[in-house]
Amino acid sequence: MATVALTLENFEQTILGGETVFVDFWAGWCGPCMQFAPNYEAASEANPDFVFAKVDTEDQQQLAAAMNITSIPTIMAFKEGIGVFAQAGALPRPMLDDLISQVRELDMDMVRSDLARQEAEQAVAASGATEA
């Protein structure tokens, strides 16, 4: 499966509509991005059950800014609409394959439980700060 080009218009729909989505933030002038591209494309071919998308940060500057992209390439992974990984830097193919395996095996019930606990702790901390 070829990679999908993401824009401000289709980003949210793609993230929320796909079971698991990997996103490569890149630019044509970026040497490491160009070196990483064949690995990313090969991973997309090897894992047709996932969506592999790309965001051209030159063309989609507003989207890159909204996602706080400060260095490229940056790889993000979303599972069931939840961001589960983000890292700047070109991953060698073995590390990319390992990342894909880890995301595939994530227990999303546990992830949602951890997020709920963190949100509850933040709410308690925020209410304590306003009472002081």
Q: Taking all residues of the chain, what is their mean pLDDT, rounded to a whole number?
A: 93
Of the pLDDT bands very low, low, confident and very high (cuts 50, 70, 90), residue 128 is: confident
**Is 33 known to be catalytic?**
yes
How confident is the model at residue 2, as a pLDDT?
A: 74
Catalytic residue among 6, 15, 21, 30: 30
Catalytic site includes residue 102: no
**The one catalytic residue among 15, 21, 33, 99:** 33
Question: Which residues have CB under 8 Å from 100's CB, separation 6+?
Answer: 22, 43, 47, 50
Q: 18-32, 52-66, 78-92, 114-128: which range is least confident on average?
A: 114-128
Q: Measured between alpha carbons, how far is residue 114 from residues 16, 50, 85, 105, 111 in Å?
A: 20, 24, 15, 16, 5
- Residue 90, number of CB atoms within 10 A of its CB: 22
- In the numeric block, the tokens 């218009």 are attached to 9
Indicate whether 59 pLDDT > 90. Answer: yes
